[in-house]
């Protein structure tokens, strides 16, 4: 998945393009440092024998742990003392394997983004087709993340973890062997997206159930560090492998890493689930239909397909029906896919909407900029990765810095500054795109926009979840993650669709105004653009026009040269508008009282 990562000084928080990893650890005394990690709610009595010991507040989806049972295990452990170093070594190996899995999860889409032109060339496909696959993968993950969490509850978290890894392995294997776009869509986008929806919620529970005390904090830190490294170097690593080896080698290495992770599956102890096993099937179906219908309508539109209005209507009706269904089920006291009561908090509603806007902006940037670098400037994957580095590296660095230095500053103010910087960076970038002949011109606006993203990911998650009670924070984090993933897929799809629509209009206008192209050529251009508008480099276009007279070749290349950057510039309006809407929303946030955290937001690994 494409990453957004932030590490906090007091713990850990990572946000992966809608996939979150949050770790807030409250002060725990040395005596309880290695206690059982369970669902210990606030107000729990102090541990017998330690009346002055600070209370331990933990939130997990594991069974409720009894403090007396914990004390009994301390006094009468059946496990010999000699096995402790062995257990510690096994825990360390498991933490490393989990970190490797997270690295693959984060770097996967970065590799896809920087190798778009190579994939298009090698598979003889189109930019819009590959862009659709990237958006579809994010959509599948978003549509099924809440469902995937419940599936893990029912079949077992360990089994869900294994199935998620296998889903990713299938997708990466398909990329290694693919001979056409269909294999990418079916195996990488759909099966890989389903793998992510199972893998991330399962990791949350497994980290809780397999580590205790300081070891658990180290595990979260290691997993977060892996995500952070992948976020920072993913475009560079993907660019290097694609340029000097092959994009297929990059995905093959993902398969190798997943195989290594699966080889240590015996180290994973399953975490039993004791909650309700009833499933809101209709709510799950409406959720998938709602998000799927909206994003798929955009993808079908950009490919010139039919029934766009029908798909959009299905998505909108399904979303409205989902709201009605959830409210009705809650009143009846029946299980729901998610609790609609979460949205009674104005802070939560604002936080979720800001999360979605941030991800729409990021999705737009992460599809338009790689296409611009590879199709307009004709950069190879390595050069594209280097040109994108200011965005990812500044985002990573500022996120860490803001997490450590925020102190008592109001999160809403930091969020407002973040959206302001993001908007400034995008506004500065807009006039540069049609004029730049080198990636060097993008450094300053990408640094500004990346700094804005960094401030946002350092604060948005905690701001959103702060007013939520501990017993509901896991569910709220899942909703927040799903909203972010949906925003990402929407940004990827909509920016790409706008780019192709703008290209079609601009190219048709220029060709109609041309005094060089004969009427037959103009008609052919209009027909092609109506059914299959594509972003192409001038080199690709010249190869297609090799049989045409020189004057027609030169004229069509001229039109392409003028129209293409303008289309990309128009597409960048999508992340720009998202940033401006986020900035407007942030003024509402600042006017509201700052939410006081209801408890520790502990160990969320969500997608």
Per-residue pLDDT tens over the stretch 544-588: 777 777 888 788 888 888 888 888 889 999 999 999 999 999 999
Per-residue pLDDT band for 538 (boundaries 50, 70, 90) equals: confident
Using alpha carbons, list the distances in angstroms from residue 228 to 4, 5, 103, 106, 358.
8, 5, 9, 9, 18
User: Residue 435 falls within a domain, yes or no?
Assistant: no
Same domain, 289 and 194: no
Q: What is the CATH number of the domain that holds 17?
A: 1.20.1250.20
Residue that the structure tokens 């653009």 belong to? 529
Same domain, 93 and 111: yes
Per-residue pLDDT band for 69 (boundaries 50, 70, 90) equals: very low
Asked if 250 contacts 242 with a C-beta cutoff of 8 angstroms, the reply is yes
Least confident of 18-22, 129-133, 313-317, 419-423: 18-22
How far is it, in rounded angstroms, from Cα 197 to Cα 16?
A: 13
Same domain, 212 and 232: yes
Asked if 207 contacts 270 with a C-beta cutoff of 8 angstroms, the reply is no
Per-residue pLDDT tens over the stretch 344-364: 888 999 999 999 999 999 989
Q: How many folded domains does the chain comprise?
A: 3
How far is it, in rounded angstroms, from Cα 188 to Cα 193?
A: 7
User: Residue 491 falls within a domain, yes or no?
Assistant: no
How far is it, in rounded angstroms, from Cα 310 to Cα 213?
A: 53
Same domain, 176 and 268: yes
Same domain, 190 and 321: no
Per-residue pLDDT band for 274 (boundaries 50, 70, 90) equals: low
Same domain, 108 and 11: yes
Question: The domain containing residue 321 runs over which residues?
Answer: 280-334
End-of-domain residue from the set 205, 239, 274: 274
Same domain, 99 and 26: yes
Same domain, 62 and 99: yes
Q: Is 124 exposed, middle or buried, given 0-12, 13-18 or 19+ CB atoms closer than 10 A? A: exposed
User: Residue 506 falls within a domain, yes or no?
Assistant: yes
Asked if 503 contacts 564 with a C-beta cutoff of 8 angstroms, the reply is yes
How far is it, in rounded angstroms, from Cα 161 to Cα 366?
A: 28
Same domain, 193 and 326: no
The mean per-residue pLDDT over the stretch 406-415 comes to: 85
Q: Which pLDDT score, from 0 to 100, does residue 40 have?
A: 31
Task: Encode burial over 510-527: b for 16+ CB neighbours within 10 A, e otherwise.
Answer: bbeebeebeeebeeebee
Work out the mean pLDDT of the chain and round it to a whole number. Answer: 78
Q: Which pLDDT score, from 0 to 100, does residue 386 have?
A: 92
Same domain, 505 and 554: yes
User: Residue 49 falls within a domain, yes or no?
Assistant: yes
User: Residue 390 falls within a domain, yes or no?
Assistant: no
Same domain, 102 and 123: yes
End-of-domain residue from the set 274, 292, 325: 274
Same domain, 309 and 251: no
Which of 313, 296, 212 is CA-nearest to residue 497? 296
């Amino acid at each position: 998945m494409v990453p957004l990562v932030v590490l906090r000084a007091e713990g850990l928080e990572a946000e992966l393009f809608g996939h979150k990893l949050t770790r807030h650890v409250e002060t725990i005394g040395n005596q309880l440092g290695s206690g059982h990690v369970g669902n210990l709610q606030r107000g729990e009595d102090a541990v017998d024998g330690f009346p002055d010991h600070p209370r331990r507040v933990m939130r997990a989806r594991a069974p409720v742990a009894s403090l007396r049972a914990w004390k009994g295990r301390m006094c009468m452990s059946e496990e010999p003392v000699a096995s402790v170093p062995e257990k510690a070594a096994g825990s360390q190996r498991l933490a490393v394997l989990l970190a490797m899995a997270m690295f693959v999860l984060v770097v996967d889409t970065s590799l896809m983004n920087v190798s778009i032109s190579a994939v298009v060339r090698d598979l003889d496909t189109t930019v819009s087709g590959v862009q659709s696959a990237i958006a579809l993968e994010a959509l599948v993950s978003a549509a099924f993340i809440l469902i995937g969490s419940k599936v893990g509850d029912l079949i077992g978290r360990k089994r869900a973890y294994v199935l998620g890894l296998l889903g990713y392995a299938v997708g990466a294997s398909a990329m290694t062997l693919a001979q056409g776009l269909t294999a990418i869509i079916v195996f990488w986008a759909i099966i890989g997206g389903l793998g992510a929806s199972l893998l991330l919620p399962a990791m949350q529970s497994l980290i809780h159930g397999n580590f205790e005390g300081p070891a658990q904090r180290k595990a979260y830190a290691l997993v977060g560090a892996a995500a952070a490294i992948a976020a920072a170097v993913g475009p560079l690593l993907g660019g290097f492998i694609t340029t000097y080896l092959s994009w297929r080698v990059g995905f093959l290495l993902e398969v190798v890493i997943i195989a290594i992770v699966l080889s240590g599956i015996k180290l994973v102890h399953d975490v039993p689930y004791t909650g309700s096993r009833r499933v809101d099937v209709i709510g799950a179906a409406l959720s998938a239909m709602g998000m799927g219908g909206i994003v798929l309508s955009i993808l079908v539109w950009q490919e010139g397909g039919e029934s766009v209005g029908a798909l959009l209507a299905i998505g909108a009706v399904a979303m409205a029906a989902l709201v009605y269904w959830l409210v009705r089920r809650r009143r009846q006291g029946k299980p729901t896919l998610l609790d609609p009561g979460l949205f009674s908090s104005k802070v939560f509603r604002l936080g979720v909407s800001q999360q979605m806007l941030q991800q729409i902006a990021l999705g737009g940037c992460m599809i338009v900029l790689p296409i611009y670098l590879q199709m307009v400037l004709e950069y190879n994957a390595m050069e594209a990765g280097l040109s994108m580095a200011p965005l990812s590296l500044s985002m990573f660095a500022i996120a860490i810095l803001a997490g450590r230095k925020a102190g008592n500053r109001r999160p809403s103010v930091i969020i407002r500054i973040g959206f302001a910087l993001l908007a400034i960076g995008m506004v500065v970038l807009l006039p540069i795109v049609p004029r730049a002949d080198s990636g060097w011109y993008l450094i300053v606006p990408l640094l500004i926009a990346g700094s804005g993203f960094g401030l946002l990911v350092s604060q948005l998650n905690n701001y959103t979840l702060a007013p939520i009670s501990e017993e509901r924070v896991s569910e709220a984090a899942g909703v927040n993650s799903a909203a972010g993933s949906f925003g990402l897929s929407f940004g990827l799809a909509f920016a790409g669709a706008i780019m192709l629509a703008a290209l079609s209009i601009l190219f048709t206008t220029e060709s109609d105004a041309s005094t060089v192209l004969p009427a037959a050529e103009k008609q052919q251009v209009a027909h092609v653009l109506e059914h299959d508008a594509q972003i192409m480099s001038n080199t690709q276009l010249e190869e297609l026009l090799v049989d045409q007279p020189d004057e027609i070749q030169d004229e069509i290349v001229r039109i392409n040269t003028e129209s293409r950057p303008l289309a990309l510039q128009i597409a960048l309006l999508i992340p720009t508008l998202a940033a401006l809407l986020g900035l407007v929303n942030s003024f509402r946030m600042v006017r509201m009282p700052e939410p006081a955290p209801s408890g520790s937001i502990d160990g969320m690994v969500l997608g």
